[in-house]
Amino acid sequence: MEAHQGGFFYGRLLLMKYTKPPLTIDQQLAQLERRGMVIGDPAAARHHLEHVSYYRLRAYWLPNEIPAPAAGDHAFKPGTQFETILDLYSFDRKLRLLVIDAIERVEVSLRTRWAYVLATRYGASAHEDPKVFRNADKHKDCLGKLKAELQRSRETFVQHYRRTYTDPALPPLWVVCEVMSFGQLSEWFQNLADSADRKAIAEPYGIDEQILESICHHLTYVRNVCAHHSRLWNREMTIGMKLARNPEELSLCFNPLIPKRLYNSLVMLAYLLDEISPRSQWRAHLLALLDQHPKVDLAAMGFPEDWRLSAIWEHKP
């Protein structure tokens, strides 16, 4: 590592020492105004900054930043308002709650299908049989994670099994699936040896089992974003999903030009909820949320211009 004025070279990267001091709330407001943000109600802005950090809100005003002459500084596009940034933050918070609500229903449904198909085909302890799974090492790893979850669990049904039964040591499929995370369930599903098992699990959703495998992996990522209260609305997903080609009415609803933005995830969730919970009001709640925040840039979420004409967003009686 080579020393350099203001930092160090590490390979070809110049590593700088962090020297920014902490700012009081009033200093934060002054800095925003100096950079060109319009703050209509300073008292309200001060209150919000006391409860939502400057750094957290920065993720929402970042699209409004423009380069400034001063090195290492930035400015805001003319007319950028603190209230608009706060509205976007509020929108994103409510959007995460809607999305995680939908993912919860999908996860519970997939747990049910996974346990039912394997139990009726291979018995109550199919999860302990390595022959059911394609990769023995991965099965061993999944089983180890499952045992750790059961050991930590204080759920009544797990404690009841421990007190009542000694053989087999692990509870049956329909019990253990209730302590799995979505990520773990995705790994168990992906590792099934027989594609017929995956097809049987996917059958009620009307989509290919390989597409369902991809969806599970993707929704695990999206769920974690929501669970950690991270920015969702304009995020480019690190883990995407394969876009379903069948049924045709679903494939026509995606935006293949921007595959890793949230829009395609929302399309998939709307479709799955129609299959899982046909009377769900989730679609209506999502559309109402979009209407309540008309200033949100939907294009940054991957929404195509004609998205309202897509069949997936039609009112379902």
Structural domain boundaries in the chain: 95-313
CA 183, CA 317: separation in Å to the nearest integer?
A: 33
Res. 21: pLDDT tops 90: no
What is the SS3 assignment for 105-147? HHHHHHHHHHHHHHHHHHCCCHHHCHHHECCHHHHHHHHHHHH
- 87: part of which helix (H) or strand (E)? helix 82-122
Q: At what angle do helices 209-227 and 82-122 cross, to 10 degrees?
A: 140
pLDDT tens for residues 32-82?
999 999 999 999 999 999 999 999 999 999 999 987 665 567 899 999 999
| Contacts of 175 by beta carbon, 8 Å cutoff, 6+ apart | 157, 158, 161
Specify the pTM. 0.89
- Rounded to 5°, the CA angle 120-191-96 comes to 95
Nearest to residue 272, comparing CAs of 93, 91, 113, 96?
A: 113
pLDDT tens for residues 93-120?
999 999 999 999 999 999 999 999 999 9
> 293 near 274, Cβ under 8 Å?
no
Q: Does the N-terminal peptide bond of residue 259 adopt cis geometry, omega within 30 degrees of 0?
A: no
Q: Is the dihedral of CA 66, 69, 73, 76 positive or negative?
A: negative
